[in-house]
Chain A
Amino acid sequence: MGTFKRIRADLVSFARSYSRSRIGLFFGLAFPVILILLFGAIFSGNGSPATVYVQNQDSGPVGAGFVTALNSTGAIQVVLVPPSQNLSQYLLSHSSSDGIAIPSSFSTNYETGQPVNVTEYWNPASSTSEGVFGITSGIVNAFNLHRANGSQVVNVQTLTIKSSSYKYIDFLIPGMIGFAILISPMFALTNISAQYKRDKIFKQLSLTPLTKTDWLLAKIGFYILMTLVSFVLMTAVGVYAFGAQITFTLWIIPFLLIGPFLFVSLGMLVGSVSTSVESAAVVGNLITFPMMFLSGTFFPVSTMPTYLQNIAHVLPLFYVIDGLNNVMIYGNYGAALTDIAILLVISVVIFVLAVRFFKWRED
C-alpha cells in the first residue's frame, strides 16, 4: 500500500512540474496533433495535375491528335513549347524535368507505317515522371493499336480490399500515435535522468522511502496517461478534420499501455548509461530519429527497400505501429497479438535493464 502511495505522490508531483513547463506539454500533446494537421493537409485531396512541356514539330494531323490525347487524360497539364525552341534548354530554364517531343516526321511516318519515336524527357527519381511515362506509353499503345486496326482484348479492372478505400490519413493516424508514444517519453526521460543525476536530485530522493522502481513506475504511469490523452486528441483530429476511417476497438489499449512502458524504460536506460546531459541527448537522438523514420511513422514500411524493412523489424517502434495498423485499419487481431507478445518481451527486458543501470547514487 505504501508503494502505491509513493508512486501516486511522485506521479502527481511530476505531472504538476510537467504541466508547468510548457515545452513538455507542447511536445507531448500539441506537436503530434500539429503534425497530423500538416501531413493530413499535404496529402489530402488529389493534388494538381503535373505540368508537362510538349513540343510538337509535326504539322500533320497525327501529331495534333497526340497532343489532344495527352490533354484529355486530365492527369497532366500540357504546356506547348514553340518548335523553334531547344526543348532540353527550355525545360532547364523552367526548372522542369518532364517534356515530350513529337518529331516533324510523325504524321508521315505514322501513315506510311515507318517506325518513329516520341521522345520523353524525364527524371527517373521523380514519381511525377513515372506517371507521365505511364500516360505517354498508354497513348502510344492506343495509337499503335489504332494503326493496326486492332481491338482491345485485355482490360484492367480495379477493386479495393475493404468496403471503403484507404486514404493516407488512415495510415497516418496509427503512425502518429506511434510517434507520440516514442518521442515524448524518450526525449523527456533521457534528459531528466541525466539532469537529475547531475543535479543530485536522485541522491536526494534516495534518502526518502521512494525506490528507483517506484520512481520509474510513476513516470510510466504518467506517460500512459499522456498517451491516452494524446490518442483521443489525434484520433479526433484525424476523424473530424480529415474523415479518417479507423476502427476503435479495445485491442488498441494494450499498445497504449505497453508503448509508454517501453519507451520510458528505454529513455531511462539511455540517460542512465550516459555520462552527461549532452551525451544522453546525442545517444537519445541517435536511437530516436532512425527509429522514427524507419518504423512506418510517416511512410508505410512496405514501401521501403527490403534491407530497410529488415532493419525496421528489429526496431521496437515498428511493432507498436504495425500493431496499431493491424487493429485500427486491417482488423487483423492475430497479427496484432504477435506484435503485443514481441513488445511485451522487449519492454520487460528494457525495463529490467533500466532499473539495473539506473543509479540512485553515483559512486
Chain B
Amino acid sequence: MKCFEAYKVRNGDASKLPAIEVSSLKKAYGKLQAVDSISFSVDQGEVFSLLGPNGAGKTTTIEILEGLRERDSGDVKVLGMDPWKQGDALHKRIGVIPQGFTFLPYITPREAVNYYASLFDVKVDADEILRIVLLQDSATSYFMKLSGGQKQKMGLALSLVNKPDFVFLDEPTTGLDPQARRAVWDVIRNLKKEGISVLLTTHYLEEAEELADKVAIMNKGKIITAGTPAQIISEHGSGEKIRVRANQDLADYVNKTTGLEVNYSDGIVVVGLKKKEDILAVLEAIGKSGLNWSDLTVRQDSLEDVFVKLVGSKIGDEGRTAQVN
C-alpha cells in the first residue's frame, strides 16, 4: 500500500484563497494518534469529501476545523481564521451538522430556523431556507415526528441560517435509506449552486463519487490519497476492463490474438485494456473466435475498488471495515 503523508490537493483556481488550509495537523487521544500529520486544502465553492472507515480520524479532523476541538500541532486556517482561537468569529460564518444530528423533540423546522435566526440576530425567510433543503412540506411537524432524512434536512436548514460561506457535514446520510440519502444529496448539490463550500465526511464511497469535487481518503489518521475522484481512479485504479461470460477457450483465443492480459475464472473472462483502441481489438477477437459468449460489459474501477485496494478492506453499511481476502 502506498501512503501519502502530507498529501496536498492541487488547487483548481489559484486566484482565490483556499477556504481551508491544513498542514501537518496532529491530534492524539492518549496513546491513540487519531490524526497523524495530515495536510490538505479546500477551495472556495468546492465540495470536498473526507472518506474513510470509522476511526479513520474524520470526525476529529472536522471538529478541529469547526473549532470544537483543540489540535496538538500543525497549522489550520478556515476562512483565514484559526478555528480554535477565533471560534466565535468563525462560527458566525460557518454552518455545521454534527454526526447524528438531533434537536429538541417538540420544535418544528420553521420554529427551529427562526430560533436560530434570533440567536444569530439575523433576519431570514424560514420558508426559503426550508425550500433549499427540500423540507417545506414538513415545516410544521415536530422534530421527533420527522423521518431520519427529514431530521438531517432540518440540521442542514439550521446550518444555513447564518448564511455561511462554508458548511461542515459530518456523515449527513449515515443510517438513512437510499431514497432519503439521495434527497440529502440533492440538498448538497443545491448548496453548491448557492456558492457555499462544503466539507463532507462520509463512509459511503458512491456519495463521495457522486458529490465531491475533491476527495481525500483517510485511514488510521493519515490521508492515503487525495484528488478528484477521476484523478484517484486513474492513479490507483487498474484501468478499463472488458468482462464477458464465456469459457476458457475464449480467454486463450483473445490472449493469443490481442496480446492483452486476460484472466479467467468461474466462467468469466476479464480482459485488461491498455489504450482506447484495445476495446475494438478485443471485440473483433471475440467475434472471430466463433465461440459462445454473453453479458459483455466494459467498466472502469470505481472509487470503491480503489478504496479496497488502498485501505485493504471494504466499508460496511455502518462504516466498519470488513477485511477482504
Which A positions have Cβ atoms within 8 angstroms of B? 2, 5-6, 8-10, 12-13, 16-17, 20-21, 199-201, 203-210, 361, 363
Contacts and interface: CB of A to CB of B under 8 A. Distances in A.
B107 A17 contact: yes
Interface in B81-109: 88, 91-92, 94, 96, 98, 100-107
B118 A21 contact: no
Contacts of B103: 201, 204
B295 to A, nearest CB: 48
Contacts of B96: 204, 207
B4 interface: no
Contacts of A6: 118-119, 121
A81 B156 CA distance: 82
Contacts of A17: 104-107
Q: Say what secondary structure dominates the interface of chain B.
A: loop
B201 to A, nearest CB: 15
Given A17-B104, A17-B106, A209 B98 contact: no
Given A20-B106, A201-B102, 17 more contacts: A2-B121, A5-B118, A6-B121, A9-B115, A10-B119, A12-B115, A13-B111, A13-B115, A16-B111, A200-B100, A203-B98, A207-B96, A208-B116, A208-B119, A209-B91, A209-B119, A209-B121
A201 B104 contact: yes
A200 B162 CA distance: 20
Nearest to A203: B98
Given A5-B121, A17-B104, A207-B66, A200 B111 contact: no
A206 B68 contact: yes
A21 B107 CA distance: 11
A266 to B, nearest CB: 22
B256 interface: no
Contacts of A2: 121
Contacts of B116: 208
Contacts of A203: 68, 98
B320 interface: no
A6 to B, nearest CB: 6
Nearest to B94: A207
Nearest to B67: A207
A333 to B, nearest CB: 41
Contacts of A201: 102-104
B66 to A, nearest CB: 7
Q: Say what secondary structure dominates the interface of chain A.
A: helix
A200 B97 CA distance: 11
A10 B100 CA distance: 22
5 contacts: A5-B121, A6-B118, A17-B106, A200-B100, A201-B104
B10 interface: no
B255 to A, nearest CB: 57
A210 B119 contact: yes
A8 B121 CA distance: 12
B101 A204 contact: yes
B142 interface: yes
Contacts of A16: 106-107, 111
A5 B100 CA distance: 29
Contacts of B102: 199-201
Interface in B151-166: 158, 162
Contacts of A8: 118
Given A16-B111, A361-B68, A363-B69, A209 B120 contact: yes
A2 B100 CA distance: 30
Contact of A21 (B94, B106, B115, B121): B106
Contacts of A5: 118, 121
B169 to A, nearest CB: 13
- Nearest 5 A/B pairs, CB to CB: A9-B118, A20-B106, A17-B106, A199-B102, A208-B119
B60 to A, nearest CB: 11
Contacts of B119: 6, 9-10, 205, 208-210
Give the one of B91, B94, B106 with max A CB within 10 A: B106
B98 A200 contact: yes
A209 B92 contact: yes
Contacts of B104: 13, 17, 201
A203 B69 CA distance: 11
Nearest to A199: B102
B29 to A, nearest CB: 10
B102 to A, nearest CB: 4
A208 B107 CA distance: 17
Give the one of A2, A21, A207, A209 with max B CB within 10 A: A207
Contacts of B115: 9-10, 12-13
Contacts of A10: 115, 119
Contacts of A363: 69
A116 B98 CA distance: 87
A266 B241 CA distance: 68
A363 B118 CA distance: 28
Interface string B56-87: 00000000001011000000000000000000
